Structure formats: C-alpha cells, structure tokens
Amino acid sequence: MPTTVLVTGGAGFIGSHTCVDLLEHGYEVVVVDNYTNSSPAALDRVQKIAGRPLVGYVADLRDRHALDGVFERHAIDAVIHFAAKKAVGESMEIPIDYYDINLAGTTSLLRSMHAHGVHQIVFSSSCSIYGDAVRVPLTEDDQARPTNPYARSKWICEQILRDACERYPEISAIALRYFNPIGAHPSGQLGEVPTGVPNNVVPYLMQVAVGRLEKLSVFGSDYATPDGTAVRDYIHVLDVVAGHRVAMEHLEDESGMRVFNLGTGVGTSVLQLVSALSVACGKALPYQLADRRPGDVATLVADPQRVERAWGWQATRDLADMCRDAWRFQRLNPAGYLGGI
C-alpha cells in the first residue's frame, strides 16, 4: 500500500480536497504545484483542516530538473496527477498552450517517475473525452470523440499512459474520467477558487451570489434537452476525492492501464442547477440566455457502474449537498482565500 503520495496540482480545487483526505487517512503528502490557477493559501488550509503537515514545492511539471529533485528528496510510492489546464472555452483560444502544459507536463512526470522507480499513478481524466454523446449514460467502452483541445489533451494523455503500460509492465495506471465536480469541503474552509473570472458554471454562479458578478450567461438554450440547456452529471468533490483514494489503494491489485468513470448517473441542466443553487443561497440568482459556448456538448451523464462493481465505490452526495457546501464556502470566503482563515 502506498504511504507517501505525490499530488501534482495539489493546491487546486480537487487536489486540495484530495490532500485533506490523504492526510486524514494517514498518508504522507508531497505537493507539486505552480500556482497558475491556485494559491499556496489552499495548502495552509489543507494542513489546518487535516491537523497534519504536508510538503509543498512550487514547480512546473515540465521542469524535469525540479521534478527529479522532488523524487530524490522523497520516497514516493504513488502519484496522483491533477496538474493541468482545464477550461474548455480557453482551450479553444490557446490550444497550443493546452497541449504543451497538459501533455508535456504528463510526459515529464512519467519520465521522472520512471527514472526513480515509481510505477503507480492515478490520472485525472475527464468525461469530456466522450464528446457529443450518441447515447447516455456513458460507459467507459463508449467511443472517445473529444470536441475541444482540453478534452483531446486528456484523451491523448490516456493514450500516453496506455503506451507506457504496454512497454513497462511494472506500471500500474488508473485513469479516472470524472464528470463535473462541484461543491466544497463541509468545513467551509476549502473550495473552488479560480484565478480571474471563473470559466466553470458553479464558481461563476457563486460570484453572482455574492455580488462580484452581475448574472450568469447560460450558454445555449436550444440543445436537444428537456429545457434546452446543457445537461451535466455534477458530482460532489468529496465523492471524487474518495474515488481517488480508493483507486490509489487498488493500484497494486494489477499492473497495466485501467479506466473508470466517476459520476453519479444523474443529469442536471444549467437551469436546474441555477434553481438548486438559488435555493441553497436563499435568493434567485440572475441569469440570461446566451449563445452556445464553442466546444460544448449537449449532454454528459455517467454510467458509474464499472467502478462500483470493481471496488464498491459510489457517489453518496446529491445536488442539494453540493449546492449547500459550495454556498457555505462562498459565504464564508467571499473573496476566496484572500481573507485568510
């Protein structure tokens, strides 16, 4: 069983919640993050919540020298690889940056792992690789048809891992394709704090709720969905985190590449999400209907059965839990982590 875990992107939204969980479960945690879309304040909070320290390094994964230094200083048993750029719209604007950061970051990490005899990795993949779904819910065997550079970068990373496993039988890799993680830590101390204007719908709506942004633009109202707005499978970040720990604890079961969806199987439209968040924060959140966002698809909902059959894992929190926790964090931290603890 791994005891020391390297978490890349550990200061980010899912990474920081994962670090709390790992520390609470007795693991030693080493974080590498370059803070491009996160802040060191998140790691302060992680350690306060968990009541245990971690070791953090400021480095870009493409910096092999820095990465080698981390592997030399710590006896890493397993890696959870979150660090990446992840905004669909932005990826259409700056595709080369997306490929550079997401692919070169991953190959650099794999080279460093290989050079230091580390063979276990959980990779943060995405449901976006399925593209425009022909039918839902989506199983892991459905064809990948990514529609934007972000999604394509995740799909290519999966292929890179598959090829690495093919060549080096000692490698054990698990790609978790998660759907739309939202919510926050129930303590209200840790949540999603994007840099600049949020790209993702829940952080955006939370800033509307505290008056930092005026209203949500609902991207597309003419999709072939019940209310015309896009449908997603929102999943509580703590369920995603639990999925990562369970996956990591099963890395040793077998070598090679395995792929699992992490979702709830429940679809929610943008308008349903606006309603649920409005209930959670006790006021109607204003929105306007707008054009579709390039690269978006109509519906993405997981078939979560494979992971349940494999390890008994399933999501335990519903949309009301996600909205309540997201709002608690935003209410207590209207300016993100800037206000300190």
d(Cα 335, Cα 87) in Å, to the nearest integer?
A: 21
Task: Enumerate residues 6+ apart whose C-beta is below 8 A from 132.
Answer: 145, 147, 297, 298
Kindly tell me which of 2 and 336 has the beta carbon lying closer to ligand UD1: 336
d(Cα 39, Cα 28) in Å, to the nearest integer?
A: 21
Task: Enumerate residues 6+ apart whose C-beta is below 8 A from 63.
Answer: 108
d(Cα 238, Cα 187) in Å, to the nearest integer?
A: 12
The mark string for 220-259 relative to ligand UD1 (x by CB under 6 A, - otherwise) is: ----------x-x---------------------------
For ligand UD1, which residue of 39, 128, 153, 264 counts as binding (CB under 6 A)? 128
Residue 299, beta-bridge partner list:
231
Kindly tell me which of 14 and 54 has the beta carbon lying closer to ligand UD1: 14
**Least distance to ligand UD1, CB of residue 134, Å:** 15
DSSP state letter for 9: T
Strand 234-236 relative to strand 4-8, pairing: unpaired
The mark string for 183-222 relative to ligand UD1 (x by CB under 6 A, - otherwise) is: ----------------xxx--x-----------xxxx---
Where does the chain show beta strands of DSSP type E?
4-8, 28-33, 55-58, 78-81, 120-126, 172-178, 180-182, 216-219, 231-232, 234-236, 256-262, 268-269, 287-290, 299-300
Residue with tokens 């830590």: 185
Position 87: which residue type? A
Kindly tell me which of 4 and 199 has the beta carbon lying closer to ligand UD1: 199
Kindly tell me which of 44 and 90 has the beta carbon lying closer to ligand UD1: 90
Binding segment (CB under 6 A) for ligand UD1, from list 82-90, 162-170, 245-253, 321-329: 82-90
289 neighbors 244 (Cβ within 8 angstroms): no
State yes or no: is 35 an active-site residue: no
CA-based angle 106:315:201, to the nearest 5? 65
Interaction residues for ligand UD1, span 267-306 (CB under 6 A): 270, 293, 296-297, 300
**Least distance to ligand UD1, CB of residue 219, Å:** 4
How many residues sit close enough to ligand UD1 to count as binding (CB under 6 A)? Answer: 24
255 neighbors 167 (Cβ within 8 angstroms): no
Binding segment (CB under 6 A) for ligand UD1, from list 43-51, 83-91, 104-112, 235-243: 83-91
The mark string for 313-332 relative to ligand UD1 (x by CB under 6 A, - otherwise) is: --------------------
Kindly tell me which of 199 and 255 has the beta carbon lying closer to ligand UD1: 199
Catalytic residue among 27, 150, 223, 337: 150
124 neighbors 84 (Cβ within 8 angstroms): yes
Kindly tell me which of 218 and 280 has the beta carbon lying closer to ligand UD1: 218
For ligand UD1, which residue of 127, 246, 247, 257 counts as binding (CB under 6 A)? 127
Residues in touch with ligand UD1 (CB under 6 A): 86-88, 126-128, 148, 151, 180, 199-201, 204, 216-219, 230, 232, 270, 293, 296-297, 300
Which residues are annotated as catalytic? Answer: 150
